[in-house]
Amino acid sequence: RKEVEQDPGPFNVPEGATVAFNCTYSNSASQSFFWYRQDCRKEPKLLMSVYSSGNEDGRFTAQLNRASQYISLLIRDSKLSDSATYLCVVNPAGGGNKLTFGTGTQLKVEL
């Protein structure tokens, strides 16, 4: 089983839609979780950290479910500019501070 697994997509949604991505991780003792965004032919950029109690940043909401070992990202009122690949990132316990990246979920927001 991969350490971090994501549905590769693509998710094709109309502008204004709400879309959610899930990501599962294998190490139950993992400590830190993040969502990154990667635009085509660009480097990944940190979108938001994921806290145990859930956190929101504008149209983006991240949640962590430790019992089921998954994290989620919800995007409300999606914009054309949200089209990108979203990478789930986990800091597994015992791995020092090394971050493990999922392969990403591709989102395409259409008119």
Partner 1 sequence: GAGVSQSPSNKVTEKGKDVELRCDPISGHTALYWYRQSLGQGLEFLIYFQGNSAPDKSGLPSDRFSAERTGGSVSTLTIQRTQQEDSAVYLCASSLGAVYRDRALGIGAFFGQGTRLTVV
Q: For binding to partner 1 (CB under 8 A), which residues are involved?
A: 31-34, 36, 42-46, 49-53, 87, 89, 91, 95-104
Of 19 and 64, nearer to partner 1 (C-beta) is: 64
Least separation in angstroms between CB 16 and partner 1: 28
Closest distance of CB 18 from partner 1, Å: 24
Residue 8's region, left for phi above 0, alpha for psi from -120 to 50, else beta, is alpha
CA 103 – CA 87 distance, rounded (Å): 6
Diameter of the chain measured on Cα atoms: 45
Smallest distance, Å, CB 54 to partner 1? 11
